[in-house]
């Protein structure tokens, strides 16, 4: 739930302190949360409000009830992208809560990265399957995918708790999933609490999931159970079965770097050709990762991120030489329709289909779900458009 401090023109002249303090008071009184997370806007940032100081003041002046918290971070739209804001608030969770106690905990921190509740649920399922206790943050499972019960739960049962966040400082190790989303938080956790960390890709696809499982195994010293090996083998089996339909298919992708990097790797593992890739999120890491993945396998690939790496550019590239598949968020549907390309919806936001919050794309099972969508998109088009004499019952 999102409240606002309700700035007006006057606030922009006199500063937002009074508004924010009142907002904090109102929220705690009316909605009684454990934590208020303050996100700044272009407005408060441009006028130079010191949110940290205001939050301090809220506490000293008694607006924050005993045992409750106000955390904050800087999220002006003119710095980085939406991913930057995400990473900043995740880092803020570490800053405000992670603490070293005298008792180390036999648990692994999972900094989840920007993904769906279904993905977070699946990453936890895998670690549970390995017998590993984890603390995942943020965790939108059982928060953004709650049942219809006849009651609206303002604070649903899922998500990370404050004691769990505090305990992250005592954990054995941190896995940060997605360098753009999660590396800063993991770095701060090491600086603050000496918890060592690895930065991994989000476990999208065979190889990224392999790395996730291996990292979990290394960090926890727990062996990989046969049930996970079997899940892996099922994904391998499915890729082998689908291979002839996917081989050499040209794919255009757009979205966030932490999704695009493992997704590109996944497509390559199936011998598909990710030929055009754009991300609006700036930063050198994207280019480095893509170069490493593509230079040898798809030397003709074009990729670009940051300012001007937009869907207009992607559309121009596609018009120059078409692709067989488009992967990205709902905005892709306009290009898909114009150019008659099947679209597989992955990323944020998906505004026109249901299911992404319930069925993961991470892990081996999520990988199966994803490539089923990819194959269906390609074969449905084939079934629809092929010449009459080429319609196949069996495929």
Partner 1 sequence: MGKIEIDPLRWKEEVLKKYPKKVAKKRDKGILVHDGEMPKQIMANVRSIPGIITARGCTYAGCKGVVLGPTRDIINLVHGPIGCSFYAWLTRRNQTLPPTPESENFMNYCFSTDMQDSNIVFGGELKLKQAVREVFEIFKPKSIGIFSTCPVGLIGDDVHAVAREMKEELGINIFGFSCEGYKGVSQSAGHHIANNTLMKHVIGRNDTAPEGKYKINMLGEYNIGGDAFELERIFEKCGLTLVSSFSGNSTIEQFERAHTADLNVIMCHRSINYVAEMMETKFGIPWFKVNFIGADASAKSLRRIAEYFEDAELMARVEEVIAEEMAIVKEAIETVYPRTTGKVAMLFVGGSRAHHYQELFSELGMSTLSAGYEFGHRDDYEGRRVIPTIQVDADSRNIEVLTIEADETRYRPRKTDEEIAALNAKGCGFGEYDGMMADMAKGALIIDDISHYEMEKLIEIYHPDIFCAGIKEKYCVQKMGIPLKQLHSYDYGGPYAGFEGAVNFYNDIDMMINTSIWKMIKAPWQVEPVIEAEYGV
Q: Which residues are at the interface with its own copies (CB under 8 A)?
A: 142, 145-149, 229-234, 236-238, 240-242, 330-331, 333-334, 336-337, 351-355, 358-359, 368-369, 372, 375-376, 379-380, 383-384, 391-395
Alpha carbon dihedral 46, 47, 50, 51, in 10-degree steps, equals -70
In the block, which residue shows the tokens 């409750």?
68
Contact between 20 and 54 (Cβ < 8 Å): yes
Contact between 261 and 283 (Cβ < 8 Å): no
Strand partners, 277: 253, 303
Partner that binds at residue 223, options partner 1, its own copies, none, CB closer than 5 to 8 Å by kind: partner 1
Residue numbers 307-366 binding partner 1 by CB under 8 A: 307-308, 312, 331, 334, 351
DSSP letter for 203, please: -
Partner that binds at residue 76, options its own copies, partner 1, none, CB closer than 5 to 8 Å by kind: partner 1
To partner 1, the closest distance from the beta carbon of 189 in angstroms equals 22
| DSSP E strand stretches across 98-254 | 108-111, 134-137, 173-177, 197-200, 250-254
Shorter beta-carbon distance to its own copies: residue 133 or 243: 243
Partner that binds at residue 66, options partner 1, its own copies, none, CB closer than 5 to 8 Å by kind: none
Supply φ then ψ for residue 111, to 5 degrees: -85, 110
Contact between 108 and 220 (Cβ < 8 Å): yes
To partner 1, the closest distance from the beta carbon of 44 in angstroms equals 9
Q: Site for partner 1 (CB under 8 A): which residue of 29, 101, 128, 291?
A: 29
To its own copies, the closest distance from the beta carbon of 360 in angstroms equals 12
Q: Site for partner 1 (CB under 8 A): which residue of 64, 206, 275, 343?
A: 206
Partner that binds at residue 355, options partner 1, its own copies, none, CB closer than 5 to 8 Å by kind: its own copies
- For 79-95, the three-class secondary structure string (H helix, E strand, C coil) is CCCHHHHHHHHHHHHHH
Shorter beta-carbon distance to its own copies: residue 149 or 307: 149
Of the listed pieces 89-97, 164-172, 267-275, 353-361, which binds partner 1 according to CB under 8 A? 267-275
Shorter beta-carbon distance to its own copies: residue 13 or 148: 148
To its own copies, the closest distance from the beta carbon of 311 in angstroms equals 13
Contacts for 274 with CB less than 8 Å, ≥ 6 apart: 251, 252, 253, 263, 264, 267, 268, 294, 298, 301
- The H or E element containing residue 37 is strand 35-39
Shorter beta-carbon distance to its own copies: residue 193 or 335: 335
Residue numbers 35-54 binding partner 1 by CB under 8 A: 41-43, 45-47
How many residues belong to the site for partner 1 (CB under 8 A)? 84
- Give me the 67-86 binding string for partner 1, x by CB under 8 A, dash otherwise: ---------xxxx-xx----
To its own copies, the closest distance from the beta carbon of 231 in angstroms equals 8
First to last CA, the chain: 47
20 binds partner 1 (CB under 8 A): yes
How far apart are the C-alpha atoms of 227 and 225, rounded to whole Å?
Answer: 5
How far apart are the C-alpha atoms of 232 and 88, rounded to whole Å?
Answer: 34
């Amino acid at each position: 739930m999102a409240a606002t401090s309700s700035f007006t023109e006057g606030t922009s002249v006199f500063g937002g302190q009074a508004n924010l303090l009142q907002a904090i008071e109102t929220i705690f009184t009316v909605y009684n949360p454990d934590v208020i997370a303050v996100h700044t806007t272009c407005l408060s940032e441009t006028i130079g409000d010191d949110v940290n100081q205001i939050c301090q003041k809220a506490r000293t002046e008694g607006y924050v009830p005993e045992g409750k918290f106000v955390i904050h971070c800087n999220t002006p739209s003119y710095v980085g992208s939406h991913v930057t804001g995400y990473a900043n608030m995740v880092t803020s969770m570490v800053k405000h809560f992670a603490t070293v106690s005298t008792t180390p905990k036999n648990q692994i921190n999972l900094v989840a990265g920007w993904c769906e509740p279904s993905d977070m649920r699946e990453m936890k399922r895998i670690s549970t399957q390995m017998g590993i206790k984890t603390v995942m943050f943020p965790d939108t499972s059982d928060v953004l995918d709650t049942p219809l019960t006849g009651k609206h739960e303002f604070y649903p049962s899922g998500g990370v708790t404050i004691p769990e966040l505090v305990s992250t400082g005592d954990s054995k190790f941190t896995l940060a999933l997605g360098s753009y989303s999660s590396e800063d938080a993991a770095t701060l956790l090491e600086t603050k609490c000496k918890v060592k960390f690895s930065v991994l890709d989000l476990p999208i696809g065979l190889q990224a999931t392999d790395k996730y499982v291996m990292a979990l195994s290394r960090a926890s010293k727990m062996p990989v159970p046969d049930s996970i090996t079997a899940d892996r083998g099922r994904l391998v089996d499915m890729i082998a079965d689908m291979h002839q339909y996917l081989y050499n298919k040209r794919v255009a992708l757009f979205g966030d770097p932490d999704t695009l990097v493992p997704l590109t790797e996944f497509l390559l593992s199936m011998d598909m050709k990710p030929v055009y890739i754009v991300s609006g999120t700036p930063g050198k890491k994207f280019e480095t990762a893509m170069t490493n993945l593509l230079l040898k396998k798809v030397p003709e690939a074009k990729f670009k991120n940051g300012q001007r790496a937009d869907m207009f550019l992607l559309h121009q590239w596609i018009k120059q030489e078409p692709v067989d598949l488009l992967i990205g968020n709902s905005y892709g549907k306009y290009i898909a329709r114009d150019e008659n390309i099947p679209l597989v919806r992955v990323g944020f936001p998906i505004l026109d289909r249901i299911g992404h919050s319930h069925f993961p794309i991470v892990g081996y099972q999520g990988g199966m779900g994803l490539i089923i969508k990819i194959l269906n998109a390609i074969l449905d088009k084939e079934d629809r458009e092929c010449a009459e004499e080429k319609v196949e019952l069996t495929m």
